[in-house]
Amino acid sequence: LIQLFLPLNFLGFVYREIRRALTDLENMLGLLTRKPAIIDATDAQPLQLNGADIRFENVSFRYQTERPILQDLSFHVPSGSKVAIVGASGAGKSTIARLLYRFYELEAGRILIDGQDIRKVSLESLRRAIAIVPQDTVLFNTSIRDNIAYAKPDASAAEVDQAIAMAHLQDFINSLPQGDQTQVGERGLKVSGGEKQRIAIARAMLKGSPILVFDEATSSLDSASEQAILKAMREVAQQHTSLVIAHRLSTITDADQILVLQQGQLVEQGSHLQLLAANGRYASLWRQQAEQSD
Ligand code: ATP
């Protein structure tokens, strides 16, 4: 038996070695075939802004080959309007914002801002044109004022004050022991989710971009916080072309257009009242959320 065991054992060793070599080769090929990072086209021009009108034209996208995320998606966000995207978790809402910011390349279709394909403009000018209010904002270990002002290091004191006012942060700041010099962040004062989003709104205001992408926090906020954010957002949105990724339908009833996304496809589109009257997917999401909040 031992005579049989030794050669078999040896064969097993050879087999494992070959498998490892193949896996290494696969990894190497994977590295070689990995898509290059997003970079400027060789003849990239700065984005020429003229009202910040956004168009998605037949956009398809997938993160991984086996799973399509957005399929043939087209919509228009006219200059100065407010468009909200709603849909179940995982429908592809945040992906739309990432594609607008050109974090990834499209599989098909194109995205235009004021008629210019975002692939053809410089990344720097594209990203300067878009301010994002993320779901969760990172705060640095510095004063609350510096946390806001960092969005525009050369901002004047008046500009920072204006951003604070627009984001309805004044009362919160006044209530702090050292006002706008109070330290926040990991080692400072803990700031609630709602206050963080308003800090992000103030940063977005300072950035001065014509396009605003607001990624509404999924975590529920108390209704006072929510009202403060809504008030800030409504004022700020009036001066921007805005795209709102909404989780609570109650926050976007005033949007000019609501896009209802289901598994990466646009299934309905219209104002809040039009969509309620249509009595389709949006209306059922609305009833569902109304029941949950009862
Ligand atoms: P939510 O409401 O939960 O924030 P969403 O509608 O914004 O969801 P997306 O974040 O756009 O959804 O994600 C769409 C799909 O893509 C999800 O199924 C998600 O798992 C997948 N996905 C997101 N990011 C990546 C990634 N970096 N790599 C692979 N798949 C991803």
The rounded distance, in Å, linking the Cα atoms of 204 and 233 is 11
- Confidence tier at 33 by pLDDT (50, 70, 90): low
- Hey, which of 59, 86, 93 would you mutate to test ligand 1's pocket, going by the most ligand atoms within 8 Å of its Cβ? 93
Centre of ligand 1 to C-alpha 7, Å, is 50
Centre of ligand 1 to C-alpha 96, Å, is 10
Q: Which residues contact 165 (CB under 8 A, 6 or more apart)?
A: none
Q: Is the CB of 69 under 6 A from ligand 1?
A: yes
- Hey, which of 35, 56, 94, 262 would you mutate to test ligand 1's pocket, going by the most ligand atoms within 8 Å of its Cβ? 94
Q: Is the ipTM above a cut-off of 0.95?
A: yes
What are 58-93's pLDDT values in tens digits?
A: 999 999 888 899 999 999 999 999 999 999 888 999
Residue 149 has pLDDT above 80, yes or no: yes
- pLDDT recorded at residue 242: 95
pLDDT higher at 57 or 166: 57
Point out the ligand 1 atom lying closest to the alpha carbon of residue 98: 11
What mean pLDDT comes out for the span 126-153?
Answer: 91
pLDDT higher at 3 or 61: 61
What mean pLDDT comes out for the span 164-186?
Answer: 90
What mean pLDDT comes out for the span 119-138?
Answer: 92
Residue 123 buriedness (CB in 10 A; 0-12 / 13-18 / 19+): middle
- pLDDT recorded at residue 14: 75
- pLDDT recorded at residue 237: 81
> Which structure tokens are listed for 85?
């995207």
Point out the ligand 1 atom lying closest to the alpha carbon of residue 264: 14
Helix (H) or strand (E) holding 54: strand 54-61
What mean pLDDT comes out for the span 114-127?
Answer: 96
Q: Is the CB of 94 under 6 A from ligand 1?
A: yes
What mean pLDDT comes out for the span 163-187?
Answer: 89
From 115, 145, 151, 114, select the one nearest 132 (Cα to Cα). Answer: 151
The rounded distance, in Å, linking the Cα atoms of 267 and 29 is 39
- Confidence tier at 18 by pLDDT (50, 70, 90): confident
Helix (H) or strand (E) holding 161: helix 157-166
Centre of ligand 1 to C-alpha 91, Å, is 7
From 128, 139, 213, 131, select the one nearest 169 (Cα to Cα). Answer: 139
The rounded distance, in Å, linking the Cα atoms of 108 and 120 is 15
Q: Is the CB of 91 under 6 A from ligand 1?
A: yes
> Which structure tokens are listed for 91?
């429908």
- pLDDT recorded at residue 29: 55
What are 198-235's pLDDT values in tens digits?
A: 899 999 999 999 999 998 876 666 777 778 888 888 88
> Which structure tokens are listed for 83?
């468009």
Q: Whose CA is nearest to atom 18 of ligand 1?
A: 90
Give the phi and the psi of residue 184 in degrees, each rounded to 5: -125, 180
> Which structure tokens are listed for 2?
């031992």
Point out the ligand 1 atom lying closest to the alpha carbon of residue 91: 6
Mean pLDDT computed over every residue of the chain: 87
Q: Whose CA is nearest to atom 27 of ligand 1?
A: 63
The rounded distance, in Å, linking the Cα atoms of 275 and 271 is 6
Centre of ligand 1 to C-alpha 94, Å, is 7
What are 230-289's pLDDT values in tens digits?
A: 888 888 888 899 999 998 898 899 999 999 999 889 999 999 999 999 999 999 999 988
Q: Which residues contact 192 (CB under 8 A, 6 or more apart)?
A: 221, 225
What mean pLDDT comes out for the span 174-193?
Answer: 86
| Contact (CB, 8 A) for 271 and 258 | yes
Q: Is the CB of 260 under 6 A from ligand 1?
A: no
What mean pLDDT comes out for the span 14-28?
Answer: 66
From 260, 273, 238, select the one nearest 87 (Cα to Cα). Answer: 260
Q: Is the CB of 95 under 6 A from ligand 1?
A: yes
Q: Is the CB of 196 under 6 A from ligand 1?
A: no
Write down the pTM of the prediction: 0.83
The rounded distance, in Å, linking the Cα atoms of 195 and 198 is 5
Tokens 């990172």 correspond to 138
- pLDDT recorded at residue 27: 59
